[in-house]
Chains A and B, each alone.
Chain A
Amino acid sequence: MSDTIRPAINFKEKALELLPEGASFESCLTCGLCSSGCPASGIENMDPRKFIRMAMLGMDKELSTTPWVWCCTLCKRCQHVCPMNIDISQLVFFARSNWPQEEKPSGIVRSCQLIRSTDSTSAMGLPPEDFVFVVQDVLEEVRVTQPAFKNLQAPMDKKGAFFFVNQNSREPMNEPDEMVPLWKIFDLVGADWTYSSKGWAAENFCMFSGDEEAWYEVIKKRVEAVKALGCKVWLNTECGHSYYTMWNALHRFGMEADFKLESLITYYARWIREGKLPVNSKWNRHNITFTVQDPCMIVRKAYGESIAEDMRFVVKSLVGEENFIDMQPNRSANYCCGGGGGFLQAGMTEHRRTYGKRKFDQIATTGAAYVLTPCHNCHSQMEDIGHFYGGNYGVVHFWTLICLSLGILGENERTYLGPDLLALID
C-alpha cells in the first residue's frame, strides 16, 4: 500500500509548528533513548529516532507512506524517556491523518464509521434502542436470579444524576453479564448514576484513524449527551482511550463542558478509603498473585502518578499487599501493551504481537497469576499475547475482583476467573 501517491507532508516544517519551543526536533541529541525504550522499534525497519532523523533530512515521501505509523501506538513513552522532552507521537498522528481514507487500516476506519453511524457513538454500531433493551433485559434477569439484588437499578437517561456512566460496547454487545458487577458496586455505595441512551459508548477510534473532524464530532455528541442530562461528572469506566480522547479533545478543540471528567479508578479508591466499598483480601486464602497494567491513556498520557497510586491502593486492598507484584517498569514509565492506538483493530497481527512481546516479558517476570487492568484494549491484547507466547496468566477487570472480594459475584459474571479463583468462591 506504500506506493500510492499522496500529498507528502513537510515533516520538518510541521514539527516546528507542532512542538513547543525547546522540544523541537532540532534539539534532538540523537541519543536513541526513545528507540531503545519503544516497543515498536524495528517494526517495518523504523524507530522513533530514525523517524526524527528522516524528518530532519526531509525524507517526507518515505515518512508519508511508511505503514509504521499504524504500529506506533501513540503511547508517548518516547517522550517520557527523552531528555529533551520531544514528542514523536504528534507527528505520527499527523502522518496518519494524511493517509487517504481508503488506504488506512480498514478495521480502524470501519470502527470510526460505526461510531458515527448511530447516536450511541458505539464502535460496534449498537443503536440506542438496543442498548436500552440489553440493559433492561440483563437487569430483569439479575433481579429474578439473584435475590440479594432484586432491587438492583440500572438507570437510563435519568436527568440530574450525579454520574454519567459510559460503557464499552463490548459488554452490551458480547458479554452483557459483565455490566452487572459494576451496577452492584454503584448499588452498594449508593451512587446517583445513570446511563444515557445517547453517547453512552466508550470507544473512540476516530482519533486513532487520524480523522480530527470525526473525533471532534464524536466528542461533541458525548458532551451534548452529558449536558442534556445535566450530570455533574462524566465517569469513565474501565476503558483507557475513551478517557483520553474525551479529555484531550476538550482541550484540543476548546470545548465547553460544565461537568468534570473522572475515572472510575479514582472513585473505587475513594469508596474503599471511605469504607463504602468494604473490600478485603481475606478471600485470597491461597495467596494467588496479581500484577497491574497501567494503561498509557490514563496514566502516562493523562493523570500521571496520582491515578497509578490509586490503582495500586485498590489492587492491594483487593488481593493483599503481599500478593501484589508490580511490573517493571511501571506507572508513567510503563510499556504500552501494544493494543492501543488502534493496533488491535488494524489487522497487523504479527506486528502487534512483536510489539506486545515486551509486555509479555514484563508480565512473565512478575510470575503473577493474573493481570488487573482498567482498560479493554489492554485486556484484549494481554490475553492475546498470553496465548500466543505461551503465558499462563489470566486478565481480569477490577469490577470482577471487587465483587468477588465482597462475595457478590454472580455465576454468569465469572468469565475471566481461572480454576484457582473459582475454587475460592464458596
Chain B
Amino acid sequence: MREETRKFDTELAVIGSGIAGCAASIFALNRQIDCAQVGNTGAVAYTTGYLDLLGAIEESSAAVAKPWEGLAQLKNLHPDHPLSRIPVTDIRKGFDQFATFLGECGITYTAPRESNITALTPAGTLKKTLCVPATMAAGPEAFADKTPCVIIDFKGLKGFSAREVVANLQDQWPTLLAARIIFPDMDKGEIYPEVMARALEVPATRTRLAELLREAAGEVKVIGLPAVLGMHRPDHVRAELEQLTGLTIFEIPTMPPSVPGIRLREMFEQVFPEKGITLIPQQKVTALSFDTDGALLCLSDNYGPITIQAKAVILATGRFLSGGLEAHITGISESLLDLPVSQPPSRTDWYRDGYTDRRGHPIHKAGIDIDTSYRPLGKNGKPYNEHLFAAGIILAHQDWIRGRSGAGIAIATAYKAVEAAEKFLLAQHA
C-alpha cells in the first residue's frame, strides 16, 4: 500500500519534549510564534516535580540558600556555565512565565522567591529547590515550623515508606509520626502511584480515603502523603480532601514512576495542541537537514512518515538518557547532526578516580557549544547553521545533577534560545 507523507509547515520546530523543549514551546506561544514540537517523554516523566534553579556550587560543600546570589558566585567561578551567560532578569522572566503557564493549566506552582525552599525527597532527606507544586508546598512549611505531622503510606506501594521518611527526619523534626493505611479497593498486590492518583480523580474514592486519613491522623492536624493527589486536577483534589478531612495535606515526591512527572507530561500533551502547537508526541526526529529557507525534519509515527518544514529549529534533545548525546568507545557524539561535542580528551578522563569526588566527573559537563545567539557551533568553530539554535542540558560546561540546576538550565536557556530564534525570524520577515 502506498504511504502518504504528512507534511507540516511551521515557523519554529522544537526537537525534544523534556523541560527545555516544553519550555521553548511555552515561550514561543507567549511570543506568538507558530510552533511544532517533536519528542519522546524524556526525563520529565521522572521528575520530582520540583523546579531547581541552583542548589549547589562545586567548590562549596554547603547548599545554596539564596540562588540568585549564588548565580553571581557561579559567574565568577564558572563563566562558561550556561547560567553564567544569561542575565538574571531573563532567568527570572523564564521561570515566571514557565510557572505561570503551568498554573494556568491546572498545576499551580509556588512563585520563585529570593531563597530556596528546603524540600523533602522521597527518602525523607532534604534538598534545595526554587519552586514546588502547590500540592507539596505545605510540607516544607511544616518542616520549617516543626509542626506535629503524620506521614502516611499505603500497603502495596513501593518506592515510598513513611517509616523511612520519619527515620531520616526524626532528629530535625521530632514531632513527626508514621502510619500505614490501605487505599480504597487496592488491598492486593503492588499498587502504583499513578493508579491511585487517577482513582482519586473520582469523587467517591476521595470520600472513602478522607475517612481513612482522618482516622490515621488522630489528633494531629497536618499529614504528608506520597504524591498521589490526582492526575489532572491535583490542586482541586488536594483542596477537596482537605475540606473533607479538616486537615492540612501535602504531598511528598515518590520514586519513579511517579505522578508529578506524568502530570506534567499529560498536561503538556493536552494543552499544547489546544493552544495551536503541532505536537507529535513520543517520536524522534530521524533526520534533520537544512537548505537556504530553513530546516527539514523527518520522522514517522505509527501511521507513517511525517516531514516538518521549519524556518528555525531549537535542538533540545538532552544528554545520554534521552539520546541527544551518544557515548562510544572513541568518544562522545551528538546524535542528530554530529555536532562537535565539548568533552574530556579521552575516555580514560571521563571519570575521576574517586566516585564521590566533590568536583564531579568531567563526562557530566560534556555537551555542545553555542555562540551568543544560541547557535550550536560547527566543526569550524562557526555557527553550524543560521536556522539552528539549542537549549537545555545538551549544552556543555554544566553538571546539572551536582548543581541541582536541571530545570533552571532547561528553562533559562530555552528562554534565550526562543528569544534568539524570534529575532532571527523577524529579521527574515523584514
Interface residues of chain A, those whose CB is within 8 Å of chain B, are: 22, 29, 31-33, 35-37, 41-42, 45, 76, 79-85, 250-251, 255-257, 261, 300-305, 309, 328-333, 357-358, 361-362, 364-365
Interface contact B303-A333, CB-CB below 8 Å: no
Chain B 217-248 interface residues, beta-carbon cutoff 8 Å to A: 231-232
**Closest residue on chain B to residue A31 by CB atoms:** B256
Which A residues touch B202, using CB under 8 A?
361, 364-365
Interface contact B273-A333, CB-CB below 8 Å: no
Chain B 193-226 interface residues, beta-carbon cutoff 8 Å to A: 193-195, 198-199, 201-202, 204-205
Interface contact B257-A83, CB-CB below 8 Å: no
Interface residues on chain B, size class: 35 or more
Interface contact B266-A328, CB-CB below 8 Å: yes
Nearest-neighbour CB distance to chain A for B301, whole angstroms, equals 6
For residue B108, CB closer than 8 A to chain A, the reply is no
**Closest residue on chain B to residue A255 by CB atoms:** B1
16 inter-chain pairs at a CB distance below 8 angstroms, sorted by A residue, are A31-B257, A33-B41, A33-B45, A37-B262, A42-B190, A83-B45, A255-B1, A257-B1, A303-B303, A305-B273, A328-B266, A329-B266, A332-B269, A332-B281, A361-B202, A365-B198
Interface contact B198-A362, CB-CB below 8 Å: yes
The distance in angstroms between the C-alpha atoms of A305 and B303, with both chains bound, is: 10
Most central of A33, A41, A332 by chain B CB within 10 Å: A33
Interface contact A250-B301, CB-CB below 8 Å: no
Interface contact B257-A36, CB-CB below 8 Å: yes
Q: A33-B257, A304-B301, A304-B303 are in contact. List 13 more A-B contacts (CB 8 A).
A: A31-B46, A32-B256, A36-B192, A37-B257, A42-B188, A83-B40, A85-B40, A256-B1, A257-B1, A332-B269, A333-B266, A365-B201, A365-B202
- The listed residue (B45, B198, B269, B273) touching A361 by CB distance below 8 A is B198
Interface contact B270-A330, CB-CB below 8 Å: yes
Q: A303-B303, A328-B232 are in contact. Are A33 and B198 (CB under 8 A)?
A: no
Which A residues touch B176, using CB under 8 A?
none
The distance in angstroms between the C-alpha atoms of A46 and B282, with both chains bound, is: 25
Interface contact A36-B194, CB-CB below 8 Å: yes
Which B residues touch A361, using CB under 8 A?
198-199, 201-202, 205
**Closest residue on chain A to residue B185 by CB atoms:** A357
The distance in angstroms between the C-alpha atoms of A328 and B323, with both chains bound, is: 29
Interface contact B195-A36, CB-CB below 8 Å: yes
Nearest-neighbour CB distance to chain B for A105, whole angstroms, equals 23
Interface contact A80-B282, CB-CB below 8 Å: yes
Which B residues touch A83, using CB under 8 A?
40-43, 45, 321-322
Interface contact B257-A305, CB-CB below 8 Å: no
For residue B189, CB closer than 8 A to chain A, the reply is yes
Most central of B195, B199, B281, B322 by chain A CB within 10 Å: B195
The distance in angstroms between the C-alpha atoms of A330 and B301, with both chains bound, is: 18
- The listed residue (A37, A250, A261, A301) touching B194 by CB distance below 8 A is A37
Most central of A22, A41, A81, A84 by chain B CB within 10 Å: A81
Most central of B201, B205, B282 by chain A CB within 10 Å: B282
Which A residues touch B194, using CB under 8 A?
36-37
The distance in angstroms between the C-alpha atoms of A332 and B301, with both chains bound, is: 11
For residue B279, CB closer than 8 A to chain A, the reply is yes
Nearest-neighbour CB distance to chain A for B265, whole angstroms, equals 8
The distance in angstroms between the C-alpha atoms of A361 and B195, with both chains bound, is: 10
Q: Which 3 A-B pairs have the closest CB atoms?
A: A36-B257, A36-B192, A250-B1
Interface contact B41-A358, CB-CB below 8 Å: no
Which B residues touch A251, using CB under 8 A?
1
Which A residues touch B195, using CB under 8 A?
36, 358
Nearest-neighbour CB distance to chain B for A50, whole angstroms, equals 10
Most central of B1, B194, B256 by chain A CB within 10 Å: B1
Interface contact A304-B45, CB-CB below 8 Å: no
Interface contact B256-A300, CB-CB below 8 Å: no
Interface contact B198-A358, CB-CB below 8 Å: yes
The distance in angstroms between the C-alpha atoms of A250 and B3, with both chains bound, is: 11
Nearest-neighbour CB distance to chain A for B269, whole angstroms, equals 6
Nearest-neighbour CB distance to chain A for B378, whole angstroms, equals 25
Interface contact B204-A364, CB-CB below 8 Å: yes
Which B residues touch A82, using CB under 8 A?
41
The distance in angstroms between the C-alpha atoms of A301 and B281, with both chains bound, is: 13
The distance in angstroms between the C-alpha atoms of A361 and B198, with both chains bound, is: 8
Interface contact A81-B302, CB-CB below 8 Å: no
Which A residues touch B193, using CB under 8 A?
36
Nearest-neighbour CB distance to chain B for A2, whole angstroms, equals 19
Chain B 264-322 interface residues, beta-carbon cutoff 8 Å to A: 266, 269-270, 273, 279-282, 284, 301-303, 321-322
The distance in angstroms between the C-alpha atoms of A84 and B231, with both chains bound, is: 23
Which B residues touch A250, using CB under 8 A?
1
Interface contact B40-A45, CB-CB below 8 Å: no
Interface contact B1-A32, CB-CB below 8 Å: no
The distance in angstroms between the C-alpha atoms of A91 and B269, with both chains bound, is: 28
Which B residues touch A76, using CB under 8 A?
302
Nearest-neighbour CB distance to chain B for A308, whole angstroms, equals 9
Which B residues touch A29, using CB under 8 A?
321
| A-contact 0/1 string along B1-27, CB 8 Å cutoff | 100000000000000000000000000
Which A residues touch B284, using CB under 8 A?
85
The distance in angstroms between the C-alpha atoms of A303 and B193, with both chains bound, is: 30
Interface contact A305-B45, CB-CB below 8 Å: no
The distance in angstroms between the C-alpha atoms of A229 and B181, with both chains bound, is: 64
The distance in angstroms between the C-alpha atoms of A250 and B1, with both chains bound, is: 6
**Closest residue on chain B to residue A330 by CB atoms:** B270
| A-contact 0/1 string along B309-348, CB 8 Å cutoff | 0000000000001110000000000000000000000000
**Closest residue on chain A to residue B261 by CB atoms:** A33
Which B residues touch A41, using CB under 8 A?
190, 192
- The listed residue (A22, A45, A300) touching B189 by CB distance below 8 A is A45
Interface contact A302-B192, CB-CB below 8 Å: no
- The listed residue (B192, B201, B302, B303) touching A328 by CB distance below 8 A is B201
Which B residues touch A332, using CB under 8 A?
269, 281-282
The distance in angstroms between the C-alpha atoms of A305 and B269, with both chains bound, is: 11
The distance in angstroms between the C-alpha atoms of A357 and B185, with both chains bound, is: 11
Nearest-neighbour CB distance to chain B for A361, whole angstroms, equals 5
Nearest-neighbour CB distance to chain B for A109, whole angstroms, equals 28
Nearest-neighbour CB distance to chain B for A421, whole angstroms, equals 24
The distance in angstroms between the C-alpha atoms of A332 and B270, with both chains bound, is: 10
The distance in angstroms between the C-alpha atoms of A35 and B322, with both chains bound, is: 20
Nearest-neighbour CB distance to chain A for B47, whole angstroms, equals 12
Interface contact B40-A328, CB-CB below 8 Å: no
Nearest-neighbour CB distance to chain B for A216, whole angstroms, equals 14
**Closest residue on chain B to residue A43 by CB atoms:** B189
The distance in angstroms between the C-alpha atoms of A87 and B301, with both chains bound, is: 13
Which A residues touch B42, using CB under 8 A?
83
Which B residues touch A300, using CB under 8 A?
302
Which B residues touch A302, using CB under 8 A?
302-303
**Closest residue on chain A to residue B306 by CB atoms:** A304
Interface contact B231-A328, CB-CB below 8 Å: yes
